[in-house]
Amino acid sequence: MDTTQYITHYIGFDIHKKWIFYCVKTKGGEIVEEGKIEATRGALRLWAQQRQEPWMGGLEATIFAGWVYDELKPYAAELQVAHPAMLKAISASKKKNDRIDAAKIADMLRCDLLPQCYMAPSWIRELRRMLRYRNLVVSQAVRLKNRIAGLLMEEGVGYDAERLHRKGYFAELLDSLQTPDSVLQLLRLSRASLEMFQSVERRLVRELENNPRLQARVELLCSIRSVGVIVALTWALEVAEVNRFGSIRQAVSYCGLSSAERQSGGKQYRGPISKQRNRHLQTVLIEAAKLAPRWNPELAALHQRELARGNRNRATLAVARKLVAYLMAVDRSGKPFEVRAATTSVAVAAD
């Protein structure tokens, strides 16, 4: 049954760290109520419980949107989250404040013009937060590795780059160094911090990999040759529900693997890779695409064909797009990856 026909109030929310501003309008655009709520779960829940009329809410996707969405969802007839890049009516306004922002969101909501974006289930968002924290930990570990190498180069110390960050080799290297005590101290501190970050990273991956809600899906995605645990976890958590993509082209665009397009006066222009993308997926897929041809013959053949055209970056992008097609096919079918007969030119999941 369509619940929207019973909705009498449309509420726009402008969310900030300390306050949530709201504006309640009727379908005709009349302002019923305006105000602000303290940005706490208790205050927001109490406000929502006091609403008597059936209402539809709209809020912009920000760092605060997750918990606000979860608290309001049980009380709203419908709740939508707006894509921030698409809210041009707010960002381009001559006069802009929190009250006006909330009112404009309410107007867009009641006119069915709010640029709605996908909101993943709460459990997916919780696990996604862990995975993104893992990415932060890895980046910090890389910075420490570079710092260790930098300290050795500053002192003119020769070292084996491939073995530098192995525990045994590093201990032997420290024992043989003739450098100031301050350098030795910094090297030891950096090594201890690096080991801590590596331990945290392993623990986070282990918890995500063994999560009962993800385990079967990750194992299925890993049936694709050249797809490892990190790629599978990133795909599962960043995409969430694969059926929200109507085609591979949409998934490729979401992953940031397609170029920007501009068309005017009958002329079409293709720009560089679009910045409107899921940067976490884009990074992981491009890094995976650089190594995938070593392990997957089909991807190696694709890489060679694209490389023959003379552009290595385009060859990597072509492999990344094919990886998206593989991941999407396996995820949708729920079956392990299989390569079709040699007469076909595409490898997909078994039907």
Segment 88-101, tens digit of pLDDT: 766 666 778 889 88
pLDDT tens-digit series, residues 216-267: 999 999 999 999 999 999 999 999 999 999 999 999 999 999 876 666 666 7
Q: What pLDDT is recorded for position 342?
A: 47
SS3 200: helix
pLDDT of residue 348: 46
Rounded to a whole number of angstroms, the distance between the first and last alpha carbons of the chain is 34
Q: Is 169 exposed, middle or buried, given 0-12, 13-18 or 19+ CB atoms closer than 10 A?
A: middle
Question: Is 90 exceeded by the pLDDT of residue 329?
Answer: yes
> Which pLDDT does position 3 carry in this prediction?
55
Helix (H) or strand (E) holding 150: helix 122-154
Query: Which fold does the domain 3-110 belong to in CATH?
Result: Nucleotidyltransferase; domain 5 (3.30.420)
> Does residue 39 sit in helix, strand or coil?
coil
pLDDT digits (tens, 9 = 90+) for 285-311: 999 999 999 999 999 999 999 999 888
